[in-house]
């Protein structure tokens, strides 16, 4: 579970940034504080494997099940953020 024992209902772009930095690092010249919300993963230097790893990391940290295939079709950080938050919302509605 992420953030101690608290049940997370939404993640933020800051959470996504941390997961990218911890899992895949940041290419030189990329400013995630400025570019994360508006750029494509490819433009930020992240390939599909990095997106998959980041998605799986966020899934694990937040104790939600997301099919791996969902991460393969994501082009932007916002799409990844939305996918995780949708899974968190489904979990909340199911409880």
pLDDT of residue 27 exceeding 90, the answer is no
How many Cα neighbours within 13 Å face the side chain of 83? 24
Mean pLDDT score, 32-61 = 91
pLDDT of residue 5 exceeding 90, the answer is no
Name which of 55, 16, 45, 49 is nearest 33 in CA terms.
16
Q: What is the pLDDT of residue 7?
A: 78
Q: What is the pLDDT of residue 75?
A: 94
Dig out the tokens for 35 from the structure: 């570019």
pLDDT of residue 30 exceeding 90, the answer is no
Q: What is the pLDDT of residue 34?
A: 83
How many Cα neighbours within 13 Å face the side chain of 24? 24
Q: What is the pLDDT of residue 2?
A: 47
Give 13-94's CATH code, choosing from 1.10.1200.10, 3.90.950.10, 1.10.260.40, 3.40.50.720: 1.10.1200.10
């Amino acid at each position: 579970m992420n953030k101690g024992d608290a049940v997370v209902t939404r993640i933020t772009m800051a959470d996504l940034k941390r997961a990218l930095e911890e899992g895949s690092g940041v290419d030189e010249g990329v400013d995630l504080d400025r570019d994360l919300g508006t750029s494509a993963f490819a433009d930020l230097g992240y390939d599909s494997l990095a997106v998959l790893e980041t998605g799986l990391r966020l899934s694990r940290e937040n104790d939600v099940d997301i099919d791996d295939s969902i991460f393969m079709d994501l082009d932007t950080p916002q799409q990844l953020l939305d996918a995780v938050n949708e899974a968190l919302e489904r979990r909340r509605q199911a409880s």
